[in-house]
A and B are shown apart, each in its own frame.
Chain A
Amino acid sequence: MATTVLIVDDSKLARIVAGKAVAALQPDWGRVEAGNAEEAMARLEAGGIDLALLDYNMPGKDGLTLAAEMRALHPSMPIAVITANVQDEVIARARAVSAAFVPKPVTEEALRGFVSGAALRLRVGAR
């Protein structure tokens, strides 16, 4: 089954940027989008999501809180939190829920490490 990435950001433009970076690295991956944490959880519960890219600063629930909720449901799902806010506490909280940290604006280069690591973990997990 094809790998599907969930991209969560309140900015449509930011979702486009992240989607393009994913497409450049993994052209075969499916991409689904959500504009906030509630939509993201609903999409996740609908099933078929293999990994997630979450914006940190969103109205309502932020990306780190969302990451913790997703982690509780999916202990081994690759999750990355995306932000330009590179404060130690933000990075530490991402680590605490085993989420990768990807600086914003998202570029192919910035995303490469997370995406190739996730692809490897998903292949190993599928065996």
Chain B
Amino acid sequence: MTLPPSFTDEHVAGAVALSELERDALTELVNIGVSRAAASLRRMVGGEVLLSVPAIEIIPQATAATLIAEREGEDLVAVRQDFSGAFRGRALLLFPQSNGLELVRAVLGEDVAPEDAAEMEREALAETGNIILNGCLGTMANMLHRSLTMSLPQVLRGDGRSLLDAGGPASPEGLVLFLYINFAVRDRSIRGYIAMVMDMPSLGALKLLVGDFIERVMDDEMDVFPAAQG
């Protein structure tokens, strides 16, 4: 996903800019969070979970929604959790709808009767989303020495645009921090994205915490990664 060429710095007046090192540190925090969450998911689905390197963009919310809508021709199912605390936003685990039942089989085993599988789909989705999203955000929050409150997972269906927009943290024109990772389960037709959206005030708060984190990394005397995390 790349930005349209028309999107220049003039459009980001009032936006929070991240320095190169802040962006690097944030990407690394997300990478560690998602990698740990993938290890938890691997235990649930019994197959290796493959991840991409996280991508971070500051773009209008409508553009983020379009990016997802354009990449996916079909309808999606999403597990959504809102988080709040030192910074707030929305985290989503998105799959093509056709992957839902395959996920249930991966979690519950092949011998689940088709009628039971349909019934279990929502629960399996919510639980999977909860493990991935909580795992990722929890690790990030711990490394930033802050706590986050997570809402209960909601299972939603629709196209990329509606899933990202509905009651989102910003207006469609408003800039958001859009963070996404592709994932897939090896030897299964399961693939999707993990996405996070934060508005500018939250990005401002996050930028300060990331700055503190970088300072701890640079400071020889401090314990950068307390044992309590994870």
**A residues neighboring B (CB under 8 Å):** 10-14, 16-17, 20, 56-59, 83-90, 104-105, 107
Contact = CB atoms under 8 A, between A and B. Distances in A.
A56 B52 CA distance: 11
B53 A84 contact: no
B202 interface: no
Q: Return the 9 tightest CB-CB contacts between A and B, nearest first.
A: A84-B35, A85-B35, A89-B48, A11-B28, A84-B32, A87-B42, A105-B225, A86-B39, A13-B25
B113 interface: no
Contacts of B177: none
B51 A57 contact: yes
A11 B31 contact: yes
B24 A11 contact: yes
Interface in B57-82: none
19 contacts: A11-B24, A11-B28, A13-B25, A13-B214, A13-B217, A14-B28, A16-B217, A16-B218, A59-B53, A84-B32, A84-B33, A84-B139, A85-B39, A86-B36, A87-B38, A87-B39, A87-B42, A88-B48, A105-B32
Contact of A11 (B27, B49, B218): B27
Contacts of A105: 32, 143, 224-225
A24 to B, nearest CB: 8
Contacts of B224: 17, 105, 107
B108 interface: no
Contacts, number: 62
Nearest to A17: B217
B31 A87 contact: no
Contacts of A83: 35
Contacts of B112: none
A107 to B, nearest CB: 6
A87 B217 CA distance: 26
B53 A57 contact: yes
A89 B36 CA distance: 14
B32 A12 contact: no
Residue among A12, A83, A84, A88 with max Cβ neighbours from chain B (10 Å): A84
Nearest to A110: B225
B15 to A, nearest CB: 22
B36 A84 contact: yes
A111 to B, nearest CB: 12
Interface string B40-55: 0010000011010100
B116 interface: no
B10 interface: no
Given A20-B217, A20-B220, A89-B42, 18 more contacts: A11-B24, A11-B31, A14-B28, A16-B217, A57-B51, A84-B36, A84-B139, A85-B35, A85-B51, A86-B39, A87-B39, A87-B42, A87-B49, A88-B48, A105-B143, A105-B224, A107-B224, A107-B225
A87 B49 CA distance: 8
A58 B24 CA distance: 13
Residue among A11, A13, A57, A58 with max Cβ neighbours from chain B (10 Å): A13
B35 A104 contact: yes
